[in-house]
Amino acid sequence: MQNPTKTRVKLLMNEMTSSQHTSGAMRQQQDVQPEPTSAPVLRAEARNLDFWYGATHILKSVSMAVVDCKVTAIIGPSGCGKSTLLRCFNRMHDLYPGNRYSGEIQLYPEDRNLIEMDPGMVRLRIGMVFQKPNPFSKSIFENVAAGLRVRGVADKRILYERVEQALSGAALWDEVKDRLHDSAYGLSGGQQQRLCIARALAPQPDILLLDEPTSALDPIATAKIEDLLTVLRNTVTVIIVTHNMQQAARISDFTAYMHLGKLVEYGVTEKVFTTPQSPMTNDYITGRFG
């Protein structure tokens, strides 16, 4: 019997390549052979993932592939389990009692189930940015350096290099380069959130998890973060949870729609938003529900 998850991933890949074909075909209609496109590389993949908090069954057999260097958005109404799913990827639930996982989240390329790994090890590889900016009570520099220091980087020169790199990557360098050693709390909310992104990016994580990173920010700060995510696109593997559908449509390559703990729909963002397969997704994205 064929693994249903495998099929799902294959379908997803086909969808992705075919959508690229379409645009290719538009440009070069006379071509007999379509351009060969490289198959997407997977970074991680949830397979039949179930999750409980105490007696509450929150995630129900979720299977989802995370494509390398692409932005995957998880959308859905409040309480659908989208944040819970995200927090499975870095085992954040393990900080609280009563968590129970079943199923697996494979990490690629070594094909290991992160549910069975040490949570600390998982978190050394998968970074996260939270809903509310949460910089440490330290200087801007030390905030970004924190993730490097825990990974054993002690050389001042390397630290400075990587901190500058991360802050530039988070489009914050120009604003803070003259006050790297001031407290992070002197920054505005939007700057703090970009600092948190820099902090998560500095150790070059395999996957960056973003849990509604703009929900506590004003529209201008939100726009800056979205610009930043667009820049990061194609260089970092991102999973973003958002309650903002326009945001998902704007910045993601793939979109997953969740409802009541189940993954209802998952595919290339354009398709999910233009021709959703499930009526539930359609209702949600057209604003009829949620």
Partner 1 sequence: MSSIPSSVVDADSECLIGGASEAFLRRRAFWNRVAAWLLFAAAAASVLVTIGIVYVLIRDSIPFFEQVPLSEFLTDTQWTPVFKNAHFGVMTLVSATLTVAGIALAVAIPAGLGLAIFLSEYANPKLREAVKPFLELLEGVPTVVYGFFALLFLTPMLQTVIPGLSGFNLLAPGLVMGIMILPYTASVSEDAMRSVPMGLREAGYALGFSRFRVAAQVVIPAALSGITAAFILGMSRAVGETMVVAIAAGQNPNFGFNPLEGAATITAYIVQMAMGDLPHGSIAYQSVFAAGLVLFLITLLFNLIGFYLRRRFREVY
Q: How far is the CB of 120 from partner 1 (least distance, A)?
A: 6
- Window 32 to 71, contacts with partner 1 (CB under 8 A): none
Nearest distance, CB of residue 99 and partner 1, angstroms: 14
* Minimum separation from the CB atom of position 257 to partner 1 (A): 25
Q: Which of 13, 25, 117, 124 binds partner 1 (CB under 8 A)?
A: 124
Q: How many residues bind partner 1 (CB under 8 A)?
A: 25
Q: Which stretch binds partner 1 (CB under 8 A): 19-27, 60-68, 194-202, 239-247?
A: 194-202
CB atoms under 10 Å from CB of 27, counted, come to: 8
Residue whose structure tokens are 């659908």? 80
Binding partner 1 (rule: CB under 8 A), the pick from 54, 79, 98, 120 is 120
Strands 99-107 and 112-113: antiparallel
Q: Which two tokens stand for residue 205?
A: 């994580």
Shortest reach from residue 290's CB to partner 1, in Å:
26
Stretch that binds partner 1, among 8-16, 44-52, 78-86, 130-138 (CB under 8 A): 130-138
Residue 240: strand, helix, or coil: strand
Residue 185 as a binder of partner 1 (CB under 8 A): the answer is: yes
Q: How far apart are CA 115 and CA 102, in angstroms?
A: 8
Angle formed by the axes of helices 156-169 and 189-201, to 10°?
Answer: 130
Among 63, 83, 84, 90, binds partner 1 (CB under 8 A): 90
Query: What minimum distance in Å lies between the beta carbon of 102 and partner 1?
Result: 22
Q: Applying CB under 8 A, which of residues 64, 75, 81, 130 lies at the interface with partner 1?
A: 130
**How many degrees, rounded to 5, is the angle at CA 185 between CA 180 and CA 189?**
105
In contact, 82 and 133? CB cutoff 8 Å: no
Indicate the helix (H) or strand (E) that contains 219. Answer: helix 219-232
- Residue numbers 132-161 binding partner 1 by CB under 8 A: 132, 134-138, 146-147, 150-151
Q: Are 272 and 89 in contact (CB under 8 A)?
A: no
User: What value, to the nearest 5°, has the Cα angle with vertex 270 and ends 103 and 50?
Assistant: 10
Q: In the bound complex, what is the minimum distance in angstroms from residue 185's beta carbon to partner 1?
A: 4
As a dihedral over the C-alpha atoms of residue 228, residue 235, residue 125, residue 73, rounded to 10 degrees, the angle is: 60
Which residues on adjacent β-strands are paired with residue 239?
72, 209
Q: Judged by CB under 8 A, which stretch of 21-29, 31-39, 75-83, 119-127 contacts partner 1?
A: 119-127
Distance between CA atoms of 276 and 27, rounded to whole angstroms?
26
Task: State which residue, 12 or 196, has the beta carbon closest to partner 1.
Answer: 196
Binding site for partner 1 (CB under 8 A): 90, 92, 95, 120-121, 123-124, 127-128, 130, 132, 134-138, 146-147, 150-151, 185, 196, 199-200, 203
